Amino acid sequence: MASSSSDLRGRIWLITGGTGSLGTALTERLLRDFDPVAIRIYSRDELKQYEMGRRFDDDPRLRFFIGDIRNLERLKLATRDVDVIVHAAALKQVPSCEYNPFEAVQTNVVGAENVVVAAMANDVPRVVALSTDKAVNPVNLYGATKLCAEKIIAQANAYSAEGASRFASARYGNVVGSRGSVIPLFLRQAKDGELTITDESMTRFWITLDQAVTFVLESVERMEGGEVFVPKIPSMRVGDLADAIAPNANRRIISIRPGEKVHEVLITEDESRHATGFHSYFAIYPAFPFWRQDPYPHGDELPPGFRYSSDANDQWLDAAALTEMIGLIGTPE
């Protein structure tokens, strides 16, 4: 089902969790560049939907659906005649998921199953679910639920079999300036002259919101079904970020928090055995018999024991790049 960007023009899109940062940015890009017939925003918060409508001047191509991804019947209605689903809805805050495990499972795991079932019921051709580096060797419940969601999305292609629907995931690192991320926190703390840092040697993968939108769209274009797509993105050290934001501020080391890693991983050694490298991304294929082999003959086989981790990356954000990134966020209120 490999496609070109022209194949994505003039389509009906459904974005679950569409009022979030990624959903809003994706909507803006689709309205500007892809001439959609309609974009259906599926989420629970009517106020955020109202504000999003105002942001886009109540563009008639936008459709706002109040609904929860836990509600299968509502999802089935929302997915009628849809060409592409981008599944972005999830509970994402690590402490919240730890404290409310039943809710995290219902939204992130059962919700992913519901998206699959609704898509197959309506023969939606392409579904891309958003994942996270925290799904790799998870040490917290959020990561564990997203790992389950990835498996559900990949195996959905076996359920769909000869049907019209195909499913893939896009797994990437921290989005710069997203809600709950460290840059807005440091910017607020800088006003008081003290930054709270877990570990100055901690590293993270970073991707801008605009880059994330591009990567999601490219994943929709190139998917065959079953893949987990991973972008090649830079790393940064938390200590370097603190230097860029507030070099003269005091630093209070608070130590690593429960459920947190010092370094993140986007591809494990085990996954790399059934993954392929390309110029700007990797594709991890299902290690199961239903997968049709060699869909991308022009990729590069990864070396034995390959591991894509934030501390062993060959791309790093230097001081100038970090300063530019901070400028993209602006100063929080």
Domains parsed from the chain with CATH numbers:
5-173+208-233+266-308 (3.40.50.720)
3-state helix, strand, coil in the chain (%, to 5): 40, 20, 40
**pLDDT for position 258:** 78
**pLDDT for position 257:** 78
Residue 183 confidence (pLDDT) above 60? yes
**pLDDT for position 1:** 43
Question: Does the annotation count 76 as an active-site position?
Answer: no
Token reading at 115: 């998206």
Nearest to 233 by CA among 161, 294, 170: 170
Q: What is the pLDDT of residues 24-55, one digit of tens each?
A: 999 999 999 999 999 999 999 999 999 999 99
Residue spans of beta strands (DSSP E) within the chain? 12-16, 38-43, 62-66, 84-87, 126-132, 166-172, 174-175, 194-197, 203-207, 228-231, 235-237, 250-253, 265-267, 275-277, 281-284, 300-301, 308-309
Higher pLDDT, 148 or 244: 148
**pLDDT for position 145:** 98
**pLDDT for position 5:** 63
Q: Report the amino acid identity of residue 233.
A: I
**pLDDT for position 286:** 87
Catalytic residue among 92, 134, 146, 261: 134
Token reading at 139: 């040490």
Is the distance from CB of 53 to CB of 62 less than 8 angstroms?
yes
Q: Report the helix count and the strand count for the chain, using DSSP H and E.
A: 12, 17
Number of other residues whose CB lies within 10 A of the CB of residue 255: 8
**pLDDT for position 162:** 85
Q: Mean pLDDT score of the chain, rounded to an integer? A: 91
**pLDDT for position 180:** 63
Residue 3 confidence (pLDDT) above 80? no
Q: What is the pLDDT of residues 310-322, one digit of tens each?
A: 999 999 988 788 8
Token reading at 155: 């195996």
**pLDDT for position 185:** 84
pLDDT over 70, % of the chain: 92
User: Which phi and psi (to 5°) does residue 49 adopt?
Assistant: -65, -45
Residue 209 confidence (pLDDT) above 80? yes
**pLDDT for position 296:** 54
Which residues have C-beta within 8 Å of that of residue 329, sequence separation ≥ 6? 176, 177, 183, 184, 187
Beta bridge partners of 87: 16, 129
Lowest-pLDDT range of 150-164, 243-257, 264-278, 291-305: 291-305
Number of other residues whose CB lies within 10 A of the CB of residue 81: 12
**pLDDT for position 323:** 82
Mean pLDDT, range 100-105, rounded to an integer: 97
Distance separating alpha carbons of residues 195 and 207, to the nearest angstrom: 22
**pLDDT for position 320:** 80
Higher pLDDT, 233 or 297: 233
Mean pLDDT, range 294-311, rounded to an integer: 83
Mean pLDDT, range 268-279, rounded to an integer: 94
Lowest-pLDDT range of 8-22, 221-235, 281-295: 281-295
Distance separating alpha carbons of residues 42 and 259, to the nearest angstrom: 30
Question: Strand 174-175's sheet: what is its strand order?
Answer: 174-175, 203-207, 235-237
Question: Strand 300-301's sheet: what is its strand order?
Answer: 62-66, 38-43, 12-16, 84-87, 126-132, 166-172, 228-231, 281-284, 275-277, 300-301
Using 50, 70 and 90 to split pLDDT, how confident is the model at 292? low
In this structure, the chain runs to a length of 333
Residue 125 confidence (pLDDT) above 60? yes
Number of other residues whose CB lies within 10 A of the CB of residue 281: 19
Is the distance from CB of 231 to CB of 172 less than 8 angstroms?
yes
**pLDDT for position 2:** 47
Q: Name the pTM for this structure.
A: 0.92
The C-alpha angle 18, 91, 129, rounded to 5 degrees, equals: 55
